[in-house]
Amino acid sequence: MSAERYTLAVLVGSTREGRFAPVITDWFTRHVAASHPHLSLDVIDLDTVRPYELRPGSEEFLAYAKRVEQADAFVVITPEYNHSFPAPLKHALDLLRAEWQAKPVGFVSYGGISGGLRAVEQLRLVFAELHATTIRETVSFALPAGPFDGEGRLHDPEPPARAADALLQQLTWWAVTLRDARRDRPYGG
* β-sheet bridge partners, residue 130: none
Instruction: Report, as ranges of residue numbers, the positions in the chain whose pLDDT lies below 70.
Output: 1-2, 189
* β-sheet bridge partners, residue 109: 78, 140
Q: Provide the pLDDT for residue 1.
A: 43
Which amino acid does the sequence have at 75?
V
Q: What is the pLDDT of residues 5-35, one digit of tens each?
A: 999 999 999 999 999 999 999 999 999 999 9
**Is the pTM value of this prediction over 0.85?**
yes
Q: Provide the pLDDT for residue 73.
A: 98
Residues 6+ apart with CB under 8 A from 63: none
Query: Do residues 14 and 111 touch, judged by C-beta distance below 8 A?
Result: no
